[in-house]
C-alpha cells in the first residue's frame, strides 16, 4: 500500500452529526489515523479541513480525540495533490479508508479538480465558479458513486437517515469468533442496548466493570441450592453473556479498542466462570446435605473445576506456545488468538476441520450458558457442574499438550 500523505475533508453542518457515538468529522479523522497506523506511515497524514464558506467560526472545529496520533490538521490547501478527498456526509465503516485509498476513488489537485468539473460541463453556471459555488462543486465532486457500499461506507444525504445507518452499521459489529447463539440471539439484543449506550459517553471498560456484579449476584443466588435459585442464577449468567457483548461493540464503534480493555474483559469472563462453578458446587451441596448424601463431593468438584479453569487460562495466556504465525489461521477466524496454538498443536485438526469446528462451536461460552439454562429448567443442575468439570479437564489437557509441543518444536 502506497503512502497516504494529504487528505482533503470538505465540511458542512454534517460534521457535527452524531452517528454511532462519534461526530462525523471525528470519525473521518479517526479512520484516517487508523489507516496511517496500520500502514506504518513514518509521518502524520496532513488533513486539510475546508468548511462551507457561510458557516461562521463558532461552527468550525478540529477533532481532538485522544486516539489521533498520526494526523495533523490544517486549513491551507497548498499546491500539492491530495491523495484522498472526502466530505463529512460520508459515514465510514472500520477499515474503509484502506479500500477507498487502494481503489483511488477520490484524489485531486486542490487548484484544479473543481475547474476540471467546470470545464467538463458539470458546473452549475457558465462562469468559472468562486466562493460558495466553488465549494459546492468541490463538495459534490467528493461524493462517491455508488453512494453506498454495504459494510464499507454510507452517504448521509439528510439527518433522517442516521437511525437506519446506525442499525446497519451495528449489524456488522459482531466478531468472527461468535458462536451461533451469539449471532442469532445474543448479538441482536446487545446491539439494541449498544445503540442506547452510544447516545452517552460510555466507555467499553466502564461497561465491563458496570456489568460484573451480575455474575457475582448470580453466584450468590446459586448458593441457595433450590430449583428456582439454580434457574434464576443461570438466567442471570445468560443476561451477563448478552450484555458482555456490548463493550466490544462500543469499542469498535468508537475506535476504543485497547489491550487493557481486552485483558479486563478476559479477566472478568474468567472470574464469572469461576463464580459459576463455585456457586454450583456449594449450592448443590445444600440439598445433598439435607438428604444425608455426600455433600462434600459437590464442594470439591466445584473447587477443582475453579482451579482447573485458572490453570487452563494460565496455559492459554502463556506467550510463545509454538504458534505458527505463518500458517493459515484454522477454522476461518473462528478462534480467539489465545486458542490458535491449542488447535494447531493439540492434534484436534487430525479429525478434520469440520469436526474441530463443530466441537468448538458447541463448547463456546454463548452456547454453553444457554444450554445450562435449559438444564437448570429441567432440574439437571448437577449436570452443569459435571459438564463444566469434564470440558475444563479436556481443555487443560489439550492446552498442556499444545504447550509441550510448542516448546519442543
Query: ∠ CA 72-77-79 to the nearest 5 degrees?
Result: 115
Copy the grid coordinates of residue 133.
459555488
The answer to whether the CB of 10 falls within 8 A of the CB of 106 is no
Domain map of the chain by residue range?
6-169, 183-408
Q: Provide the pLDDT confidence category of residue 149 given band limits of 50, 70 and 90.
A: confident
Q: Provide the pLDDT confidence category of residue 198 given band limits of 50, 70 and 90.
A: very high
* Helices H / strands E in the chain, number of each: 16, 8
CA pair distance 190, 170, nearest whole angstrom: 10
> For the residues 122-144, what does the mean pLDDT come to?
55
CA pair distance 395, 399, nearest whole angstrom: 6
User: To which residue does cell 465549494 refer?
Assistant: 135
Return the pLDDT at 121. Answer: 43
Return the pLDDT at 349. Answer: 56
**Secondary structure element (H or E) that encloses residue 27, with its range:** helix 24-38
Strand pairing category for 84-87 and 6-11: parallel
Q: For 267-309, how does the pLDDT look when each residue is reduced to its tens digit (9 = 90+)?
A: 999 999 999 999 999 999 998 877 767 789 999 999 999 999 9
- Whether the pLDDT of residue 256 is over 80: the answer is yes
Copy the grid coordinates of residue 264.
479486563
CA pair distance 303, 389, nearest whole angstrom: 10
> For the residues 325-331, what does the mean pLDDT come to?
51
What lies within 8 Å, CB to CB, of 176 at 6+ separation is 332, 333, 334
Return the pLDDT at 122. Answer: 43
Q: Provide the pLDDT confidence category of residue 70 given band limits of 50, 70 and 90.
A: very high
**Secondary structure element (H or E) that encloses residue 51, with its range:** strand 45-51
Q: For 354-365, how does the pLDDT look when each residue is reduced to its tens digit (9 = 90+)?
A: 655 555 666 788
Nearest 10 degrees: Cα torsion 267, 269, 271, 276: -170
Return the pLDDT at 352. Answer: 58
146 prior amide bond cis, ω within 30:
yes
Given the candidates 1.20.58.2050, 1.20.120.1760, 1.10.3720.10, 3.50.50.60, the CATH classification of the domain at 183-408 is 1.20.120.1760
DSSP class per residue in 371-406: HHHHHHHTT-HHHHHHHHHHHHHHHHHHHHHHHHHH
Strand pairing category for 18-19 and 22-23: antiparallel
- HSE (CB half, 13 Å, CA atoms) of 323? 21
More confident residue, 142 or 394: 394
CA pair distance 315, 405, nearest whole angstrom: 13
CA pair distance 314, 301, nearest whole angstrom: 20
Rg (alpha carbons) of the chain, rounded to whole number: 27
The answer to whether the CB of 160 falls within 8 A of the CB of 121 is no
More confident residue, 94 or 401: 94
> For the residues 71-85, what does the mean pLDDT come to?
89
Return the pLDDT at 255. Answer: 95
- Whether the pLDDT of residue 245 is over 90: the answer is yes
Q: Provide the pLDDT confidence category of residue 106 given band limits of 50, 70 and 90.
A: low
Per-residue burial over 91-126, b if 16 or more Cβ lie within 10 Å, else e, is: bbbbebbbbbbeeebbbbebeebbeebbeeeebeee
Q: Give the predicted TM-score (pTM) of the model.
A: 0.84
Least confident segment among 114-123, 232-241, 342-351? 114-123
Give φ, ψ of 71 to 5 degrees.
Answer: -135, 150
Amino acid at each position: 500500500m502506497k503512502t497516504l500523505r494529504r487528505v482533503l475533508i470538505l465540511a458542512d453542518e454534517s460534521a457535527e452529526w452524531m452517528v454511532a457515538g462519534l461526530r462525523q468529522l471525528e470519525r473521518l479523522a479517526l479512520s484516517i489515523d487508523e489507516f496511517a497506523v496500520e500502514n506504518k506511515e513514518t509521518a502524520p497524514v496532513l488533513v486539510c479541513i475546508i468548511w462551507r464558506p457561510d458557516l461562521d467560526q463558532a461552527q468550525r472545529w478540529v477533532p481532538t480525540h485522544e486516539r489521533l496520533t498520526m494526523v495533523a490538521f490544517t486549513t491551507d490547501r497548498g499546491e500539492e495533490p491530495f491523495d484522498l478527498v472526502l466530505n463529512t456526509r460520508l459515514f465510514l465503516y472500520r477499515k474503509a479508508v484502506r479500500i477507498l485509498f487502494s481503489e483511488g476513488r477520490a484524489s485531486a489537485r486542490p487548484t484544479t479538480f473543481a475547474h476540471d468539473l467546470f470545464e467538463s460541463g458539470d458546473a452549475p453556471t457558465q462562469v468559472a465558479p468562486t466562493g460558495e459555488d466553488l465549494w459546492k462543486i468541490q463538495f459534490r465532486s467528493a461524493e462517491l458513486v455508488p453512494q453506498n457500499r454495504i459494510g464499507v461506507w454510507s452517504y448521509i444525504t439528510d439527518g433522517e437517515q442516521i437511525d437506519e445507518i446506525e442499525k446497519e452499521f451495528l449489524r456488522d459489529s459482531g466478531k468472527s469468533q461468535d458462536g451461533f447463539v451469539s449471532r442469532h440471539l445474543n448479538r441482536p439484543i446487545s446491539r439494541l442496548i449498544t445503540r442506547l449506550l452510544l447516545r452517552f459517553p460510555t466507555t467499553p471498560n466502564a461497561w465491563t466493570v458496570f456489568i460484573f456484579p451480575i455474575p457475582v449476584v448470580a453466584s450468590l443466588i446459586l448458593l441457595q441450592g433450590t430449583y428456582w435459585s439454580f434457574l434464576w442464577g443461570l438466567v442471570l449468567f445468560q443476561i451477563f453473556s448478552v450484555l458482555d457483548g456490548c463493550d466490544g461493540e462500543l469499542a469498535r464503534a468508537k475506535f476504543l479498542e485497547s489491550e487493557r480493555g481486552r485483558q479486563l474483559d478476559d479477566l472478568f469472563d474468567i472470574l464469572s466462570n469461576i463464580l459459576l462453578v463455585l456457586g454450583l458446587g456449594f449450592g448443590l451441596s445444600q440439598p445433598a446435605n439435607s438428604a444425608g448424601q455426600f455433600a462434600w463431593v459437590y464442594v470439591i468438584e466445584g473447587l477443582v473445576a475453579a482451579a482447573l479453569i485458572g490453570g487452563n487460562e494460565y496455559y492459554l495466556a502463556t506467550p510463545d506456545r509454538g504458534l505458527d504465525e505463518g500458517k493459515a489461521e484454522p477454522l476461518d477466524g473462528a478462534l480467539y488468538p489465545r486458542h490458535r496454538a491449542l488447535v494447531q498443536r493439540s492434534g484436534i485438526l487430525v479429525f478434520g476441520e469440520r469436526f474441530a469446528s463443530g466441537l468448538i462451536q458447541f463448547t463456546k461460552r454463548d452456547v454453553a450458558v444457554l444450554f445450562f439454562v435449559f438444564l437448570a429448567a429441567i432440574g439437571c443442575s448437577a449436570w452443569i457442574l459435571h459438564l463444566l468439570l469434564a470440558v475444563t479437564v479436556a481443555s487443560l489437557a489439550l492446552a498442556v499438550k499444545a504447550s509441550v509441543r510448542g516448546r519442543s518444536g
